[in-house]
Amino acid sequence: MMKKTAILLMAFLLTLSLCAQVRLANIFSDNMVLQAHRPIKIWGYAPVGENVKVVVDEQVKTVVSDEMGKWQLLFPPMDYGKDVKVKVVGRQNEIELENVLIGDVWLCSGQSNMAMTVNGEGGQVYNYKVEESKANYPGIRSFKVIPSVSVKSGVDVDGRWEVCSPETVSNFSAVAYFFAREIHQKRGIPIGIINSSWGGTDIETWMSMDSFQLLPDLFTSKYNNAKVEDIGIILENNEEKRKAFESVVENDIGEKEKWYAPEFNSESWEFMSQPQEWGSTPLASFDGVVWFRYQFMVLEEDANQAGVLSLGKVDDNDVTWINGIRIGETKGAGVDRYYQIPQGVLKKGANVIAIKVADVIRAGGLTGKEENLYIETTGGKYSLVGEWQYKISAETKDLHYEDVTPNLYYGLLYNAMIDPLKDFAIKGVIWYQGENNAGQAYNYRTLFPTLIKDWRSKWGYDFPFYWVQLASFMPKAEIPPAADSWAELREAQTLTLSAKNTGQAITTDIGDANDIHPRNKQDVGKRLACIALHKDYGMTDIIYSGPTYKSMTLQNNRIIITFDNIASGLKVMNKYGYIEGFTIAGADQNFIWAKAYLEGKDKVVVYSDKIKAPVAVRYCWSINPDVNLFNSADLPAAPFRTDNWKISTEY
Instruction: Examine residue 489 and state whether it is found in any structural domain, yes or no.
Output: no
CATH number of residue 310's parent domain: 2.60.120.260
Where in 565-602 does DSSP place strands (E)? 570-572, 582-585, 592-593, 595-599
Q: Is 47 strand, coil or helix?
A: coil
pLDDT above 90 for 338: no
Pick the closest to residue 416 from 46, 158, 608, 618 (CA basis): 158
Question: For position 236, what pLDDT does the model report?
Answer: 75
Per residue in 573-597, pLDDT (tens digit) is: 987 888 999 999 999 999 999 999 9
Instruction: Examine residue 2 and state whether it is found in any structural domain, yes or no.
Output: no
Q: Please, what is the average pLDDT of the chain? A: 92
Distant-in-sequence contacts of 39-42, Cβ < 8 A, 24+ apart: 39/74, 39/75, 39/76, 39/77, 39/425, 40/74, 40/75, 40/76, 40/77, 40/78, 40/425, 41/72, 41/73, 41/74, 41/75, 41/423, 41/424, 41/425, 42/72, 42/73, 42/75, 42/86, 42/88
Residues 173/114, Cβ–Cβ less than 8 Å: yes
Per residue in 217-275, pLDDT (tens digit) is: 889 888 877 888 888 877 777 777 777 788 888 889 999 999 999 999 999 999 999 99
pLDDT above 90 for 21: yes
Q: Is the link from the previous residue into 275 a cis peptide, with omega within 30 of 0?
A: yes
CATH number of residue 159's parent domain: 3.40.50
Question: For position 349, what pLDDT does the model report?
Answer: 96
CA angle 621, 310, 468 (to 5 degrees): 45
Distant-in-sequence contacts of 397-400, Cβ < 8 A, 24+ apart: 397/286, 397/287, 397/288, 399/241, 399/244, 399/245, 399/248, 399/287, 399/360, 400/241, 400/287, 400/360, 400/361
3-state helix, strand, coil in the chain (%, to 5): 25, 35, 40
Question: For position 503, what pLDDT does the model report?
Answer: 98
Identity of residue 93 = N
Q: Are residues 218 and 301 in the same domain?
A: no
Secondary structure, 3-state, 102-155: EEEEEEEEECHHHHCECEECCEECCCHHHHHHCCCEEEEEEEECCCCCCCCCCC
Which pairing describes strands 288-298 and 349-359: parallel, antiparallel, or unpaired? Answer: antiparallel
Q: Are residues 422 and 534 in the same domain?
A: yes
Residues 338/320, Cβ–Cβ less than 8 Å: no
Domain end residue (candidates: 491, 526, 543): 543
Q: Are residues 536 and 553 in the same domain?
A: no
Question: For position 403, what pLDDT does the model report?
Answer: 63
CA distance 223 to 203: 13
Return the exposure string of 300-316: e unless at least 16 CB atoms fall within 10 Å of the residue's CB, then b. eebbebebbbbbbbbbb
Q: Are residues 293 and 246 in the same domain?
A: yes
Q: Are residues 264 and 150 in the same domain?
A: no
* Residue 636 DSSP class: B
Residues 36/80, Cβ–Cβ less than 8 Å: yes
Instruction: Examine residue 90 and state whether it is found in any structural domain, yes or no.
Output: yes
pLDDT above 50 for 15: no
Identity of residue 547 = P
Question: For position 401, what pLDDT does the model report?
Answer: 67
pLDDT above 60 for 649: no
Question: For position 90, what pLDDT does the model report?
Answer: 95
Domain end residue (candidates: 362, 395, 428): 395
User: How is 466-488 classified by DSSP, letter by letter?
Assistant: EEEPPPPBSSPPSS--S--HHHH
Domain end residue (candidates: 498, 528, 543): 543
Q: Is 590 strand, coil or helix?
A: coil
Total domains in the chain come to 3
Question: For position 574, what pLDDT does the model report?
Answer: 86
Q: pLDDT band at 402, cuts 50/70/90?
A: low
Q: pLDDT band at 336, cuts 50/70/90?
A: confident
Q: Are residues 210 and 64 in the same domain?
A: yes
Q: Are residues 539 and 552 in the same domain?
A: no
Pick the closest to residue 432 from 406, 457, 465 (CA basis): 465
Q: Are residues 219 and 340 in the same domain?
A: no
Question: For position 405, what pLDDT does the model report?
Answer: 82
Q: Are residues 104 and 177 in the same domain?
A: yes
Q: Are residues 384 and 414 in the same domain?
A: no
Q: pLDDT band at 144, cuts 50/70/90?
A: very high
Q: Is 147 exposed, middle or buried (0-12, 13-18, 19+ CB in 10 A)?
A: middle
* Most confident residue range from 327-331, 392-396, 422-426: 422-426
Q: Are residues 357 and 330 in the same domain?
A: yes
Per residue in 448-482, pLDDT (tens digit) is: 999 999 999 999 999 999 999 999 999 999 999 98
Mean pLDDT along residues 278-300: 93
Instruction: Examine residue 125 and state whether it is found in any structural domain, yes or no.
Output: yes
Q: Are residues 262 and 212 in the same domain?
A: no
Per residue in 517-569, pLDDT (tens digit) is: 999 999 999 999 999 999 999 999 999 999 999 999 999 999 999 999 999 99
Instruction: Examine residue 480 and state whether it is found in any structural domain, yes or no.
Output: no
The whole domain housing 96 covers 31-226+409-472+507-543
Give Cα separations from 99 to 86, 104, 165 (angstroms).
9, 15, 15
Question: For position 16, what pLDDT does the model report?
Answer: 40
Instruction: Examine residue 416 and state whether it is found in any structural domain, yes or no.
Output: yes
Please, which residues bridge with residue 431 across strands? 109, 467
CA angle 447, 452, 457 (to 5 degrees): 120
Instruction: Examine residue 485 and state whether it is found in any structural domain, yes or no.
Output: no
Neighbours of 600 (CB within 10 A): 12
Per residue in 612-630, pLDDT (tens digit) is: 999 999 999 999 999 999 9
Question: For position 624, what pLDDT does the model report?
Answer: 96
Instruction: Examine residue 402 and state whether it is found in any structural domain, yes or no.
Output: no
Mean pLDDT along residues 30-42: 98
